[in-house]
Every structure is written in C-alpha cells, then in structure tokens.
Amino acid sequence: MPIKKFINYGLLGLLIITLVYSFINLDYSNLINLQFNNLWHIFTGLLQPDLSYVYDGTGEDLVHLMFQTVVIAFYGTFIGSVLSIPFILLSAKSTWGRFQIFPLAMRGLLNLMRSVPALIYAILFVRVVGPGPFAGALALGVQLVGMLGKLVSEELDCVDETPIEAIHAVGASNVQVFQYSRLPQVLPIAASHILNHFEINVRSATTLGLVGAGGIGAPIIFALQQRNWPRVSVILLAIILVVVVIDFVSSRIRQKLL
Amino acid sequence: MKRKDTIHDHLFKQIGSSLLLILLFLAAGQVINADWTEVVENRKQAAFFLEGFLQPEWSYIDRLLEPMIETISMSISGTFLGVITAVPAAFLGTNLVTRNPVITFIFRTFFSLIRTIPNLLLAALFVAIIGIGELTGVLTIAVFTFGMVSQLIFASIETIDIGPLEADNSIGATRFQIAVNAVWPQVAHSVYAYALYSFEVNIRASAVLGYVGAGGIGVMLNTALSFMQFGRVSLIILIILFLVFLTSLISEYIRREVI
C-alpha cells in the first residue's frame, strides 16, 4: 500500500520536525551553571552524608520525620480506602442493574478527582486544617478515592460469574449474592491495589512537605535552597532506603495475597 | 473460586487483622495530630476553594498558550532524551544481551534507585543544581522517563523469543550485532509504545514540575495558587486534562495505524 507508506513517512517527518523544533525552542540560558567546579562541589558534598542529622533527639531529625512521612502515607491510604467504598459501589456497573447512567456519571466524577495533582489537594487541606501532617494525609486520602474507585469498581465488574449464578440458583437475595460471591472475589485484588497505592503514597508523602503538609519534604527543600549537599544526601539516602524496604515488604505481601 | 476463599473460613483471622489495622490507624492519628473536628469547622475554606474551581476564568486562556507550547516541547524533548538513553541501558540490564550477571546487577540496581526518587524531588534537585528554567524541566523529565522506560524495556526483553539470538550466535555474530539484529527488532514496537505512554505521563507531571521552578505551565499554576486565583488554577488543570486527552488520542492513532 503506497498511500499508507506515504502517510507514515509524512508522520515520521512531522515527528522529526516537532522534535527539532522542541529542542530549538528550549531556553538554554541556565546551561552556564553547569560548570565543572560547581558540579564537583555538589558531587563531593553528596558523597559526605550529614550523619549528625540522622538522630539528635529533638523530634526534628531524620528518623522522626521519615517515620512521620510513612505514617502520613498509612493514614492517607487508610482513610482513602474507607472513603472509597461508597464510590466503588456507586460506580460499579454490576450494582446498578438497568440504571447504567449512574455509574457513568460516577466514573466521570472519579476521573475529575484523579486528574487533580496531590499537591493541589495538599494546598487545599493546608488551608482547611492548617499546615501539618494531617493535611498531607487528607490530601493523599482524597486522591486515593479517585484511584481506588476506578480500579476496584472495574475489578468488581469483571469477576468470575459462575459462583454468582450458583448462589442465585439456590435462591439468594441480591445482597447475599454480593456478600458471598462478589465481595470475596474482589477483596484480595482490592487489598493488593491498596498496598500498591501505599507504596505510591509513601513516595508522594516525601514531597508534600513542599506546601507545608508535613513529612520529610520541608527539610529537603530547605537543604536544597541552602545548597547544604551533605544534608540533601543523607535525606535522599533515607528516602531511597525507606521506599525500597516498603516496596519489598509490600510486594511480598501482594504475592501472598494473589 | 474455592470454598476456602469465602468469608466464613477466615472469620477470626479477618476480624483480627481488621482490629489490628484500626488500632494502627488510631495510633497513626495520634502521631500526625489528626483532628477531624477541624475538617468540619473549616469547611467554608474548602467551599471557597471549590467555588473558584467550578468557575474557570476562560479569559485567561490567551496568556496560557505560550506556556502550553513550552510544556509540550519540554515533554517532547525530555521524553526523547529519556527513551534514547534508556534503550542501550536496558539492553545492558538483561542477561540475554550481556551474559554477565555482574553488569546486569549493577544496571538493575541503578534503575531501581532512580525510580525510587519522586519526580518532584528530582525537579527540586535539578533546580538546586542548574537553576530555574526549562532545561531543568527537560532534564527532570528525561531522568524520570529513563527510570520508567528502562524498567519496561528490560522486562519486555526478558520475554522475547531466543531462537533468533541462538541463530545469530551460531554464525558467529558479536554481542552488539545480536543486540541490533536479533533483540531490537523484537522489542522495537514495545519501545515505541512505551515512549508514547511516558509522553502522556510526562504531560500530566508537567503541572507539578513548574511548582518547584522547572518551567512550563506549572509556573503559571504556582503563581495562580499563591494569589489564590482558583478560577485560573481550575482553567490550568482543565488545559492539562485536555492536553492529556489529546496525546492519548494521538498515541492511540499511532498505535493502531503505524506500529
């Protein structure tokens, strides 16, 4: 098909043009900051982590704040999971029978909720409950509602239908069908999604401090602004360590669940 | 579904773990000073926020066109740089290509280390190193894409058909020749698909990258947020949604027609 080939070459040409245009369009003015001395200074700074910051007993040290970060993620995941239950039920096609317009509307709402970045929710909740870790936890929770609402309601719609028919056949009511065949099939999958989002939330919680929502985010931004590289290095190491450990543990639990 | 999967058989185990979770939740509430009465008392603040949100300030749109194009070109160049560097790195991260467990291990550790750093933190780091600007955003996107795509590529290299590799090996091809002639043709299509996928993710992420000074439409978002012009904030979010929608349409077309 020569016409299709022609169109494909045209698209390739267009792609190359946009690529070149994007690179030309960029503002390269801050390349001058990339000097060797500068980079060497940063590199050596990063190689000497500020270990005195790890624990100093004031409650503002690394161990305490990392713990707070993980707790924010846990609290956010918990309230997000609990709050998402009504949303999941309302947006599952299987719970509505003939009234398919409702799940469609709910899914639209969930899409909107998901498209707002967690940082914006954090700003909102900092205004509502004041700066602090609670605001961060609420922000993560609200964003999680959008995520879980979509993922779990889709799982609820594509479970194995044979046990459902079997329980219907012995005369169970709709509620009993839900309780004994739909729910047990979805629970492990939902738990796995929740654990996965706990991992994601730990990552997000490390940056919420940017807007004053608690956790390790604020100290790392201060350290970055002061160019305090040894401190940046020790905080980054702690974040990497905690994220790796939590990913490992939760992937183990998820393997067991499924 | 087996009988042991039903709720009855695990009743005590499930009640126990639920109680444990609730206790942990209450303890966590103590740690972060959770005070739910504040949420109810200050709901006016949230209402004020939402009100602004529901009234996008459409007249602001002509001032957003330039940062919009800036965001798109940042995402395109960042994705390009990230994918271009991820391909050879992912090849080195698989035993099939290197036949050297040590190199594979080093590369894989490197990939997973890069992926643990959240992209906002990466952006803040680059802002501190090379200063505020578009190039910072491009670098952040490139590193972030590198982490995401290299992981996906080496996972798909692991699943390829090894027949062509053995054939090339038996006629004395070098490892580089094997990588180019036997491995690359098998994964090329998935690489293009991953590039499109990461482009979508990057457009979405560009909203927050500007918040720390990494250029693009996020800079406008930051300004609007600090002046509490929520109509503008909502317009910017809508525009990002529109861009994401547009890129997903384009990438769907490319996936269907070209790849």
pLDDT of residue B9: 64
Q: Quote the domain boundaries for residue A234.
A: 61-257
Q: A36 pLDDT band (50/70/90 cuts)?
A: confident
The answer to the question of residue A45 being in a domain is: no
pLDDT of residue B2: 60
- What is the CATH number for B86? 1.10.3720.10
Q: From start to end of B74-150, where are the E strands?
A: none
pLDDT digit string, tens, across residues A42-83: 888 888 888 887 777 776 788 888 999 999 999 999 999 999
The answer to the question of residue A199 being in a domain is: yes
pLDDT of residue B82: 94
Looking at the 3D structure of chain A, how many domains does it have?
Answer: 1
pLDDT tens digit at each of 259 positions of chain B: 565 655 566 778 878 888 999 999 999 888 888 788 888 887 887 788 788 778 888 888 888 888 888 888 889 999 999 999 999 998 888 887 777 888 888 888 888 888 888 888 888 888 888 888 888 889 999 999 999 999 889 888 888 888 888 888 889 888 888 888 888 888 888 898 889 889 988 888 887 888 887 778 888 888 888 887 888 888 888 888 888 888 888 888 877 776 6
Kindly list the residues from chain B whose CB atom is less than 8 angstroms away from the CB atom of residue A207. Answer: 118, 120-121
Q: Quote the domain boundaries for residue B166.
A: 70-257
The answer to the question of residue A146 being in a domain is: yes
Looking at the 3D structure of chain B, how many domains does it have?
Answer: 1
The answer to the question of residue A39 being in a domain is: no
- Kindly write down the DSSP assignment for every residue of chain A, as one continuous string: -HHHHHHHHHHHHHHHHHHHHHHHHS--GGGGG--HHHHHHHHHHHHS--GGGS--SSS-SHHHHHHHHHHHHHHHHHHHHHHHHHHHHHH-GGGTTT-THHHHHHHHHHHHHHHS-HHHHHHHHHHHH-SSHHHHHHHHHHHHHHHHHHHHHHHHHTS-SHHHHHHHHTT--HHHHIIIIIHHHHHHHHHHHHHHHHHHHHHHHHHHGGGT-SSTHHHHHHHHHTT-HHHHHHHHHHHHHHHHHHHHHHHHHHHHH-
A109 has a chain B CB within 8 A of its CB: no
| CB atoms near residue B64 (< 10 Å) | 17
The answer to the question of residue B212 being in a domain is: yes
Surface-to-core class of residue B80, CB atoms within 10 Å of its CB (0-12 exposed, 13-18 middle, 19+ buried): buried
The answer to the question of residue A47 being in a domain is: no
Q: CB under 8 Å to A55, separation ≥6 — which residues? A: A61, A62, A63
Single pTM value for the model: 0.84
- What is the CATH number for A144? 1.10.3720.10
Q: Which of residues 177-216 of A touch B (CB under 8 A)?
A: 179-181, 183-185, 203-204, 206-207, 210, 214
The answer to the question of residue B47 being in a domain is: no
The answer to the question of residue A44 being in a domain is: no
The answer to the question of residue B162 being in a domain is: yes
Q: Which of residues 161-180 of A touch B (CB under 8 A)?
A: 162-163, 179-180
The answer to the question of residue B46 being in a domain is: no
Kindly list the residues from chain B whose CB atom is less than 8 angstroms away from the CB atom of residue A38. Answer: 129
Q: Taking all residues of chain A, what is their mean pLDDT, rounded to a whole number?
A: 86
- The ipTM (two decimal places) reads 0.80
The answer to the question of residue A100 being in a domain is: yes
pLDDT digit string, tens, across residues B9-22: 677 887 888 899 99
The answer to the question of residue B236 being in a domain is: yes
pLDDT of residue A83: 94
